[in-house]
Amino acid sequence: MLSALMLSISSIYSKKVTRNKDASIVTGYQLFIGGTILIVLGLIFGGHLTGFTIKSSLLFSIHGINIFSSLCYMDTTFKI
C-alpha cells in the first residue's frame, strides 16, 4: 500500500520537476538515490551484505563515483 502511494506521489512530482531535463539523466538520479535509500534502510533494519572484499568494495565505489560524475557532467553539459 505504501509502495503504491509513493509511486503515485513521485510520478506526479517528477513530471513537474523534470519538464526540462533529459529522461536518461532523471532515470540515473532516481536509480542512484533509490538504491542508496534502500541500502541504508536495509542496514538500519538488520540486513547485511556478504561476499564483499576490500577489492570488490573499492571497484564498486569507483564505479559508483564514475556513474555519478557522468550524470553530473551530462546534466550541466546537455541542456535541452
Reference 67, options 21, 20, 35, 42; nearest CA is 35
Q: Please report, rounded to a whole number, the percentage of residues in the chain having pLDDT higher than 70.
A: 92
Please indicate, yes or no, whether the overall pTM of this predicted structure exceeds 0.75.
Answer: no
- Model confidence pLDDT, tens digit, residues 21-56: 777 777 777 888 888 898 899 989 998 878 878 888
pLDDT band of 77, cuts 50, 70, 90: low
Specify the pLDDT at position 44: 93
Let me know: does 6 contact 37? Beta carbons within 8 Å.
no
Q: Which pLDDT score, from 0 to 100, does residue 76 have?
A: 65
What percentage of the chain has pLDDT greater than the value 90?
Answer: 5
